[in-house]
């Protein structure tokens, strides 16, 4: 939503190609330069295109112009209570964000208790200096208008723009109450939202002094184009650890199959001689429990371990419980690999998101391990 | 892509032509190149100690064995080896058969042998597939243009395929005449075609702390370069009569569920921004914003709003969700940098690169990409010894502002360990920084705008690995 200043001239500049830009410029600013569009001399084969496009109606603008600025221009009047907000939250938001906005299952947590009364006082969230703390939305966001606009335009995740204005106010109030920025029964409205802004814990936490806004800004990091004897010593500080070599899948299959630089076969151990044969001929080890044979890299790389543990329930069921449930079922591998890739709900209570990033082979590998 | 073990390529993305009968296991199969008949221990031993009589014999035996493995029934390995290359001596099926009809594939597809060169996700990077990234396979690409099907994807709430007949562009705010355009009207207006890179601000973001991902696809693949066709934004702003006295920013908004919004300063908006519908000679792909997107050259990709539905002229930045919660760069003092936009000069060697292998000593063409959000690529230097000494590479033309520039340099690999790096200098004189120089100023938690010099280590066995230096 734009700030409608009185100064704006509402009359349409009558623009003909030759005079178009300068005419408009004169109305505003004699010195204004037009960077890209240089009006060509009027010619019969380049006629006036200013009849193209039409005026937007007020109703059309109202339908689409939904943005809310930090100074609350564009914020529709309305109100909502944090108590109502909690009800709407549980129905529309909690499945992804958790009852208290703390879930890490689908998105980074919104709230984790890392915002303090001191932060609300200072306007700087102190925990942002601590690399061990998880960064949440309430720690980062400086402007309450952003929360309102975000929820209003893009939430819920799978049903955006379905909330009423008052529902958005209620949800913002509930979210703020989770961070103790407002009380648990706070009524947020267009009248008092500016007071809430004054309590935003990271309201002073943003800087625009960084040299990366404009093309001609001065950069903040400098190197020189040294050509000879530039480094006294060259030391490798980090590389991909051996256990993670195959974490992105076999790199051999991600490179062109011919040419000067074929892909490294990361499905085998580094330095293994005649490796493909020896791996294939390796006798199968006797079964020694689910944990010892777990495809840990695969599980770790695909966030499986965020919700599942080997032998205890976390968010989802323990892997041992899954294995037990489907033991002896003929189509267990097919069933489980399908479940892994497509997600599911109702079997264990709650639901599992689809793991579509897994190839069928990888999903099958996990399923085979579970069904073994 | 094939994830199976063994050397078989099983193309899944592209169906083989129905008119050609193939013998299973014949030309769908990749044979080891003649150079790779050696196992790693032999390569290492030869590299270390040279070739003595024992090893010479071993090489002979290995070569014969390798050849024998390559041959079909009929001729003995020894007989053919003495006469020449069996791929020349025995005519292949494609030389002895009728080829496919025209328009067998009405929309052309890459060869099935190219099935490995596709966009990929980085496992575990995101928890959902709709707010996620797929990376361009830079390791398999040439020149400066990204094939449209390989352009990286970054969506915030999934991608949509919009009916262009129902798509509208609105311009409102500080304008004398708020306007609406249909696609037909936009495509009647004067257009420009320009080549520009689009790089996500988070490209190389996984590498701030340490070497984290194995290949250039994942380290640098949120980067693509296309020829975009559309209406200059400046023309549309003039057309709607933007208020020159008060207009300071333009807000761009998408038509998708996420309705992405980003603030663009008015100088940028009037400079070289394009309201684009064309990409590499065809319409935009749905994943890249069909039928209309903004292209903000030199600025992080998030500002090039896809599925563009609205432009609003205003007088202050908007602090939208992707300017105040996401896409903010955390500094060591706990402050976040907001509206970081410019993609500073950056370069990377794409071949050879992480996860690839050099098969023999000798000559290689080392090739890579360089770009700058502030102008053109002035020069690229390449080091083979971890940054001790540098050699200037050859730039392939055309060298265009805010576009990818391909560089090449010859290299004779002596079989010893090496560390390859590239360093770009842009038209403003800015020199691409070392990782430690970036970290000194910005720490390692900013996620965005990592344009550090990339290091690829080549081991004695020819393996190329992603490493970071002290």
Three-class SS of chain A: CCCCCCCCCCCCCCCCCCCHHHHHHHHHCCCCCCCCCCCCCCECCECCCCCCCEECCHHHHHHHCCCCCCCCCCCCCCEEEHHHHHHHHHHHCHHHHCCCCCCCCCCCCCCCCCCCHHHHHHCCCHHHHCCCCCCCHHHHCCCHHHHHHHHHHHCCCCCCCCCCHHHHHHHHHHHHHHCCCCCCCCEEECCCHHHHHCCCCCCCCEECCCCCCCCCCCCCCCCCCCCCCCCCCCCEEEECCHHHCCCCCCHHHHCCCCCCCCECCCCCCCCCCCHHHHHHHCCCCCCCHHHHCCCHHHHHHCCHHHCCCCCCCCCCCCHHHHHHHCCCCCCHHHHHHHHHHHCEECCCCCEECCCCCCCHHHHHHHHHHHHC
CB B204 within 8 A of CB B333: no
When the pLDDT of each residue in chain B is averaged and rounded to a whole number, the result is 88
Contact B381 A227 (CB under 8 A): yes
CA distance B315 to chain A (A): 7
Distance CA A133, CA B137 (A): 34
CB B317 within 8 A of CB B311: no
Give how far the C-alpha of residue A311 lies from the chain's centroid of Cα atoms, to the nearest Å. 31
pLDDT in tens, B306-349: 999 999 999 999 999 999 999 999 999 999 999 999 999 999 99
Please state, in angstroms and as integers, the Cα–Cα distance from residue A182 to each residue in A75, A173, A185, B324, B413, following that order: 19, 7, 8, 20, 65
A36 contacts in B (CB within 8 Å)? Answer: 232, 234-235, 270-272
Per-residue burial over B199-234, b if 16 or more Cβ lie within 10 Å, else e, is: bbbbbbbbbbebbbbbbbbbbbbbbbbbbbbbbbbb
CB B435 within 8 A of CB B395: no
Peptide linkage before A156 cis (omega within 30 of 0) = yes
Window 307-346 of A, Cβ < 8 Å to B = none
Contact B314 A69 (CB under 8 A): yes
Contact A262 B33 (CB under 8 A): yes
User: SS3 for B260?
Assistant: coil
Both tokens of residue B232? 């200059």
Phi-psi bin for A101: left (phi > 0), alpha (psi -120 to 50), beta? left
Please state, in angstroms and as integers, the Cα–Cα distance from residue A141 to each residue in A145, A298, B169, B267, B450, following that order: 10, 34, 30, 27, 22
Both tokens of residue A161? 């723009």
Q: With bands split at pLDDT 50, 70 and 90, how would you rate the model's confidence at A305?
A: low
Across B354-461, the runs of DSSP E, i.e. the strands, are: 362-371, 377-383, 391-392, 394-396, 405-413, 418-426, 455-458
Both tokens of residue A222? 């400098």
**What is the 8-class DSSP label of residue B90?**
S
CB B278 within 8 A of CB B311: no
What is the Cα Rg of chain A in Å? 30
Q: Which of B132, B232, B329 lies closest to A37 in CB terms?
A: B232
Both tokens of residue B25? 């296991």
Distance CA B313, CA B269 (A): 10
Distance CA B369, CA A332 (A): 47
**What is the 8-class DSSP label of residue B259?**
-
Q: Report H helices in B97-200.
A: 183-188
Distance CA B223, CA B26 (A): 36
Distance CA B281, CA B304 (A): 19
B41 vs B8, more confident = B41
Q: Does pLDDT of B71 surpass 60?
A: no
Q: With bands split at pLDDT 50, 70 and 90, how would you rate the model's confidence at A322?
A: confident
Q: What local confidence, expressed as pLDDT, does residue A332 receive? A: 83
CA distance A98 to chain B (A): 15
Per-residue burial over B17-42, b if 16 or more Cβ lie within 10 Å, else e, is: eeeeeeeeeeeeeeeeeeeebbbbee
Taking alpha carbons only, the member of A61, A66, A73 closest to residue B260 is A66
Residue with tokens 């958005």: A168
Q: What local confidence, expressed as pLDDT, does residue A119 receive? A: 96
CA distance A65 to chain B (A): 8
Q: Report the percentage of chain B scoring pLDDT > 70.
A: 83
Cα angle B150, B151, B157 (rounded to 5 degrees) comes to: 115
Contact B179 A56 (CB under 8 A): yes
pLDDT in tens, B376-385: 999 999 999 9
CB B69 within 8 A of CB B81: no
When the pLDDT of each residue in chain A is averaged and rounded to a whole number, the result is 81
Taking alpha carbons only, the member of B238, B214, B21 closest to residue A15 is B238
Q: What local confidence, expressed as pLDDT, does residue A313 receive? A: 65
Q: Does pLDDT of A69 surpass 90?
A: yes
B218 vs A364, more confident = B218
Q: Does pLDDT of A24 surpass 50?
A: no
Q: What local confidence, expressed as pLDDT, does residue B59 receive? A: 46
**Count of beta carbons in the 10 Å neighbourhood of residue B7:** 14
SS3 percent helix, strand, coil of chain B, rounded to 5, is 20, 30, 50
Rounded-to-10 torsion of CA A135, A140, A146, A152 = 10
B240 contacts in A (CB within 8 Å)? Answer: 53
**What is the 8-class DSSP label of residue B217?**
H
Distance CA A188, CA A166 (A): 9
Per-residue burial over A175-198, b if 16 or more Cβ lie within 10 Å, else e, is: bbbbbbbbeeebbbbbeebeebbe
Q: What local confidence, expressed as pLDDT, does residue B41 receive? A: 52
Taking alpha carbons only, the member of A84, A70, A77 closest to residue A174 is A84
A341 vs B13, more confident = A341
Distance CA B403, CA B338 (A): 25
Distance CA A240, CA A263 (A): 16
CB B260 within 8 A of CB B305: yes
Give mean pLDDT, residues B90-115.
Answer: 96
CB B451 within 8 A of CB B220: no
Give mean pLDDT, residues B79-107.
Answer: 91
What's the predicted TM-score (pTM) here? Answer: 0.77
pLDDT in tens, B188-203: 999 999 999 999 999 9
Both tokens of residue B53? 């009589």
Contact B123 A248 (CB under 8 A): yes
Of A57-71, B47-61, B223-237, give the lowest mean pLDDT range.
B47-61
Q: With bands split at pLDDT 50, 70 and 90, how would you rate the model's confidence at A3?
A: low
Contact B116 A263 (CB under 8 A): yes
Contact B321 A150 (CB under 8 A): yes
Taking alpha carbons only, the member of B323, B169, B150 closest to residue B221 is B150
Of A183-187, B22-26, B228-232, give the lowest mean pLDDT range.
B22-26
CB B261 within 8 A of CB B322: yes
Window 340-359 of A, Cβ < 8 Å to B = 353-354, 356-359
Window 170-189 of A, Cβ < 8 Å to B = none
Q: With bands split at pLDDT 50, 70 and 90, how would you rate the model's confidence at A23?
A: very low
Please state, in angstroms and as integers, the Cα–Cα distance from residue B50 to each residue in A113, B36, B55, B286, following that order: 64, 17, 9, 55
Q: With bands split at pLDDT 50, 70 and 90, how would you rate the model's confidence at A2?
A: low
Q: What local confidence, expressed as pLDDT, does residue A28 receive? A: 41
Q: What local confidence, expressed as pLDDT, does residue B28 receive? A: 33
CB A70 within 8 A of CB A208: no
Q: With bands split at pLDDT 50, 70 and 90, how would you rate the model's confidence at A343?
A: confident
Q: What local confidence, expressed as pLDDT, does residue A366 receive? A: 84
Give mean pLDDT, residues B212-224.
Answer: 98
Residues 6+ apart with CB under 8 A from A160: A153, A154, B157, B257, B258, B259
Contact B3 A71 (CB under 8 A): no
């Amino acid at each position: 939503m734009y700030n409608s200043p009185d100064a704006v001239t509402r009359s349409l500049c009558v623009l003909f190609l030759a005079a178009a830009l300068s005419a408009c410029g004169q109305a505003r600013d004699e010195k204004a330069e037009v960077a890209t569009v240089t009006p060509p001399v009027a010619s019969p084969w380049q006629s006036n295109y200013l009849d193209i496009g039409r005026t937007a109606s007020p109703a059309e603008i109202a339908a689409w112009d939904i943005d809310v600025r930090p100074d609350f221009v564009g914020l529709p009047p309305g109100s909502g209570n944090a108590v109502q907000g909690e009800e709407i939250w549980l129905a529309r938001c909690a499945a992804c964000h958790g009852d208290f906005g703390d879930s890490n299952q689908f998105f980074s947590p919104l709230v984790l208790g890392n915002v303090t009364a001191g932060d609300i006082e200072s306007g700087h969230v102190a925990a942002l200096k601590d690399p061990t703390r998880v960064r949440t939305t309430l720690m980062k966001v400086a402007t309450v208008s952003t929360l309102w606009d975000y929820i209003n335009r893009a939430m819920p995740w799978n049903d955006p723009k379905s909330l009423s204005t008052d529902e958005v106010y209620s949800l913002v109030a509930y979210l703020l109450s989770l961070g103790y920025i407002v009380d648990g029964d706070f009524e947020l409205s267009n009248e008092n939202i500016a007071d809430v802004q004054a309590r935003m814990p990271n309201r002073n936490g943003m800087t625009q002094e960084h040299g990366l806004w404009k093309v001609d800004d001065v950069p903040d990091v400098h190197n020189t184009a040294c050509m000879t004897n530039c480094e006294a010593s060259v030391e490798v500080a980090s590389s991909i650890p051996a256990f993670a070599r195959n974490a992105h899948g076999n790199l051999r299959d991600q490179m062109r199959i011919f040419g000067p630089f074929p892909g490294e076969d990361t499905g085998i151990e580094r330095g293994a001689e005649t490796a493909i044969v020896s791996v294939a001929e390796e006798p199968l080890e006797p079964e020694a429990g689910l944990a010892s044979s777990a495809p840990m890299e695969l599980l770790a790389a695909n966030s499986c371990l965020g919700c599942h543990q080997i032998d205890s329930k976390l968010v989802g069921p323990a892997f041992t419980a899954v294995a037990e449930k489907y033991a002896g079922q003929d189509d267990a591998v097919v069933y489980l690999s399908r479940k892994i890739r497509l997600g599911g709900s109702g079997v264990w209570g709650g639901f599992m998101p689809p793991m579509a990033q897994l190839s069928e082979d990888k999903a099958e590998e996990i399923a085979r391990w579970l069904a073994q | 892509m094939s994830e199976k073990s063994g050397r078989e390529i099983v193309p899944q993305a592209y169906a083989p032509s129905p008119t050609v009968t193939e013998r299973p296991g014949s030309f769908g199969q990749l044979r080891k190149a003649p150079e790779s008949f050696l196992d790693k221990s032999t390569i290492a031993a030869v590299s270390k100690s040279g070739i003595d009589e024992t090893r010479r014999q071993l090489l002979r035996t290995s070569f014969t064995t390798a050849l024998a493995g390559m041959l079909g029934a009929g001729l003995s390995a020894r007989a053919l080896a003495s006469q020449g290359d069996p791929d020349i001596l025995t005519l292949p099926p494609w030389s002895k058969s009728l080829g496919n009809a025209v328009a067998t594939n009405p929309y052309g597809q890459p060869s099935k042998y190219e099935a490995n060169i596709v966009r990929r996700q980085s496992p575990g990077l995101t928890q959902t597939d709709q707010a996620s990234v797929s990376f361009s396979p830079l390791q398999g690409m040439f020149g400066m243009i990204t094939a449209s099907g390989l352009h990286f994807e970054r969506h915030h709430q999934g991608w949509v395929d919009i009916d262009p007949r129902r798509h509208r562009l609105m311009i409102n705010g500080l304008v004398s005449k708020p306007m609406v355009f249909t696609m037909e009207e936009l495509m009647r207006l004067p257009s420009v075609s320009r080549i520009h890179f689009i790089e996500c601000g988070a490209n190389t973001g996984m590498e701030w702390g340490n070497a984290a991902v194995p290949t250039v696809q994942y380290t640098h693949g949120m980067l693509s370069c296309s020829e975009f066709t559309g209406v200059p934004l400046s023309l549309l702003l003039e057309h709607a009569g933007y208020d020159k006295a008060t207009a300071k920013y333009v807000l761009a908004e998408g038509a998708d569920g996420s309705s992405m919004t980003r603030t663009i300063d008015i100088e940028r908006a009037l400079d070289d921004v394009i309201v684009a519908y064309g990409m590499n000679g065809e319409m935009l792909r749905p994943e890249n914003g069909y039928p209309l997107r903004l292209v903000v050259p030199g600025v992080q990709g998030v500002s090039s709003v896809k599925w563009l539905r609205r432009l609003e002229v205003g007088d202050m930045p908007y602090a939208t969700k992707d300017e105040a919660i996401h896409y903010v760069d955390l500094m060591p003092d706990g402050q976040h940098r907001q509206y970081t936009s410019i993609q500073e000069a950056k370069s990377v060697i794409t071949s050879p690169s992480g996860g690839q292998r050099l098969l023999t000593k000798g000559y290689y063409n080392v090739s890579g990409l360089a770009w700058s959000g502030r102008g053109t690529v002035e020069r690229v230097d390449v080091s083979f010894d971890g940054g001790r000494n540098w050699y200037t590479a050859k730039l392939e033309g055309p060298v265009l502002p805010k576009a990818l520039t391909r560089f090449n340099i010859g290299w004779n690999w002596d079989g010893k360990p090496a560390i390859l790096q590239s360093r770009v200098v842009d038209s403003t004189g800015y020199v691409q920084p070392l990782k430690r120089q970036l970290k000194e100023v910005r720490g390692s938690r900013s996620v965005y705008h990592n344009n550090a010099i990339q290091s690829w280590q080549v081991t004695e066995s020819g393996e190329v690995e992603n490493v970071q230096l002290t």
